[in-house]
Amino acid sequence: MKIKLQQAILLSLATLSLGAQAQQAANLQAKIAMCIGCHGIPGYQASFPEIHKVPKISGQGERYIANALQAYAKGERKHPTMRGIAQSLSEQDIKDIAAYYAQQVKITAPETVPAPSQDVAKLFERGACASCHGTNFSKPLDPSYPKLGGQHADYLYVALKAYHTEGNPVVGRGNAIMGAQVKQFKPAELKQMAQYLASLDGELKTVPQSSTR
């Protein structure tokens, strides 16, 4: 009798545990549902502030994703759609979403990458980009910095140009360090840098997902 009671208790606990895990999974899917419509479609293009592919975020750094969402919520990164989404999230939501996308794929970028042309190399040297983002641009020195290798060129270009923008209520980025670095470059130079970064093998990917699953 005692053994049967113990077995019944263990079975009940296991059922409760499985139920809790299923509920957690359902809650997470509900949180990322807003993300999938853009970031779960390979090659998906946004039209604001100009046409560009939305960034690859699977495999991106967890802390970077969280910081980016917090910056959108605070208005430090200006983007009406992203701000509305970020402001609807709790701190725990942001942590869960960041962890989900950071772990969604595991790709290891090569330690060394092809060198850019001499002219483009001078641009990266002037900006000291590798000192923060790593020599292969996929191993940032601080987890709050983004991985850049293999990211879409048009997204990188739009993101970099946003640091040039001032006084616009819906476009721009407020990071003082990045602003100072980027403002020394002309748009054509930023485009060259973005194209080189996009050509690299990195750790980022867009994982196809259905919002109706």
pLDDT at 22: 58
- What is the rounded CA–CA span in Å between residue 2 and residue 34? 50
Q: Which residues of 159-198 are buried (b: 16+ CB within 10 A; e: fewer)?
A: bbbbbbeeeeeebbbeeeebbebbeebeeebbbbbbebbb
Give residue-wise pLDDT tens across range 24-60.
667 888 899 999 999 999 999 999 999 999 999 999 9
Question: Given a cut of 60, is residue 72 above it in pLDDT?
Answer: yes
The structure's pTM equals 0.87
Give residue-wise pLDDT tens across range 76-129.
999 999 999 999 999 999 999 999 999 999 999 999 999 999 999 999 999 999
Taking a C-beta distance cutoff of 8 angstroms, is the pair 139, 129 a contact?
no
β-partners of residue 77 are 173
- Residue 140 has a CB neighbour count (10 Å cut-off) of 18
pLDDT at 24: 61
DSSP secondary structure of 42-72? TT-EE-SSS-EEPPP-BTS-HHHHHHHHHHH
pLDDT at 20: 47
For range 140-163, the mean pLDDT? 98
pLDDT at 210: 79
The two three-digit tokens of residue 203, written as one number = 């750790």
Question: Given a cut of 50, is residue 200 above it in pLDDT?
Answer: yes
- Biggest alpha carbon distance in the chain? 82
pLDDT at 175: 93
- Kindly report the average pLDDT of the chain as a whole number: 91
Give residue-wise pLDDT tens across range 2-19.
676 666 565 655 555 555
Question: Given a cut of 60, is residue 184 above it in pLDDT?
Answer: yes
pLDDT at 139: 97
CATH topology of domain 56-199: Cytochrome Bc1 Complex; Chain D, domain 2 (1.10.760)
- What is the rounded CA–CA span in Å between residue 77 and residue 72? 5
For range 191-207, the mean pLDDT? 98
Domain residue ranges in the chain: 56-199
